[in-house]
DNA sequence: AAAAAAGTGATAATTATTACTCTTTTTTGA
DNA sequence: TCAAAAAAGAGTAATAATTATCACTTTTTT
């Protein structure tokens, strides 16, 4: 995997965010600085970086592909109103990680994906309707 | 919600399957019997039936939308090689349901989605490559 | 039976993602 | 160092799943 300005920019942008952005989110944030960057480049780099284990591709019940620069094990919550994805602090969730791993093993599975759902703070306040899911 | 031949056919077809089919799966199975049925009709009926709580729309980390005629609470496994989705027998998983509900509540979430992943029996046997995911 | 509401089939439109072609940049090794 | 080879980028076309539209038919209501 070669080095390139674009790859560094994608990686740094992702790491600077806690929003679990899509390829297009990153594309839009990079454009002001790199007006010539192509959306395909962003997709390709996110794909390669996650294949290399440098970033994480999220497995959410979302038709949009989201990425995370934080490789530490943690759960996510998705807002069922606006679709925003945020981290769940993982204190006191060790038992849950264990139960899930055990359940997977017992059923011949090697892994699992969990996502918590609910209405996020923003949506609860601004009662305005947002992009439904 | 009115009655129609097509709606009944979609519902019965879904209920006869344990494969968690997509709209297109159902469309293809219905065509021999109902050659004039339209794919849009299948999509619309699956959507309405799940909105009415008669069937369940699955929340999987899959860009294909899948449906389940079985409303009882249970987990799913998705084959990471061929993408097939199957049920996980829920005996001895009560503790897990409880842990998940508690974790959700503790973090201000109202629900959760879980999916287990692994290579299914078919793919382990037929070592032939299938539609990767 | 007439009117209203809901559903259908056919097809167009949308949206996220991937593929492709050609150009540019980066790496490699004589 | 510097040319050839390899990898990456830009721009755009193609794909695939899903949703929307619309004229017409079926079902339900009155």
> How far is the C-alpha of B88 from the C-alpha of A113, rounded, in Å?
14
Q: Which residues contact A91 (CB under 8 A, 6 or more apart)?
A: none
Q: Does B76 lie in the same domain as B62?
A: no
- The CATH number assigned to the domain holding A24 equals 1.10.10.10
pLDDT at B2: 93
Q: Is it the case that residue B6 has pLDDT exceeding 50? A: yes
Q: Does B111 lie in the same domain as B66?
A: no
Q: Does B109 lie in the same domain as B98?
A: yes
Structural domain count of chain B: 2
b/e B33-46 (16+ beta carbons within 10 angstroms → b)? ebeebeeebbbebb
Q: Does A81 lie in the same domain as A16?
A: no
**Per residue in B81-124, pLDDT tens?**
999 999 998 777 888 999 999 999 999 999 999 999 999 988 98
Residue A9 CB lies within 7 Å of the nucleic strand D = no
Q: Which nucleotides of D are covered by protein (CB under 7 A)?
A: 7-13, 17-21, 26-28
How many other C-beta atoms lie within 10 A of the C-beta of residue B50? Answer: 17
Q: Which residues contact B29 (CB under 8 A, 6 or more apart)?
A: B13, B21
Q: Does B82 lie in the same domain as B57?
A: no
Last residue of a domain, one of A31, A50, A70: A70
Residue B84's closest CA among B128, B20, B17?
B20
Gyration radius of chain A's alpha carbons: 17
Q: Does B78 lie in the same domain as B123?
A: yes
Nucleotide with minimal C1' distance from the CA of A39 is: D10
- The CATH number assigned to the domain holding B93 equals 3.30.1490.190
pTM of the model: 0.90
Q: Does B90 lie in the same domain as B132?
A: yes
State the residue range of the domain holding A90. 72-133
**pLDDT (mean) for A53-78:** 95
Q: Does B119 lie in the same domain as B60?
A: no
pLDDT at B126: 78
**Per residue in A115-129, pLDDT tens?**
999 999 889 887 644
Residues on chain B touching A95 (C-beta within 8 angstroms): 99
Q: Which residues contact B72 (CB under 8 A, 6 or more apart)?
A: none
pLDDT at A126: 78
Residues on chain B touching A61 (C-beta within 8 angstroms): 58-61, 113
Q: How confident is the model at residue A130 (pLDDT cuts 50, 70, 90)?
A: very low
Specify burial of residue A5 (Cβ count, 10 A radius: 0-12, 13-18, 19+): exposed
Last residue of a domain, one of A22, A52, A70: A70
Q: Does B97 lie in the same domain as B51?
A: no
Neighbouring-strand partners of residue B88? B75
Q: Does B108 lie in the same domain as B87?
A: yes
A99 to chain B, any CB pair closer than 8 A? The answer is: yes
Residue B133's closest CA among B113, B112, B111, B118?
B118
Percent of chain B beyond pLDDT 70?
A: 95
Q: Does B95 lie in the same domain as B59?
A: no
């Amino acid at each position: 995997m070669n080095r390139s300005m674009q790859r560094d920019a994608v990686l740094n942008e992702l790491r600077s965010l806690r929003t679990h952005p899509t390829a297009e989110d990153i594309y839009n944030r990079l454009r002001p600085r790199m007006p010539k960057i192509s959306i395909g480049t962003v997709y390709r780099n996110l794909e390669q970086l996650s294949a290399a284990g440098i970033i994480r591709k999220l497995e959410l019940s979302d038709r949009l592909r989201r990425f995370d620069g934080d490789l530490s094990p943690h759960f996510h919550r998705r807002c069922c109103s606006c679709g925003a994805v945020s981290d769940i602090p993982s204190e006191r969730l060790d038992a849950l990680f264990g139960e899930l791993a055990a359940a997977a093993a017992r059923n011949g599975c090697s892994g699992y994906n969990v996502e918590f759902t609910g209405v996020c703070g923003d949506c609860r306040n601004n009662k305005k309707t947002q992009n439904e899911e």
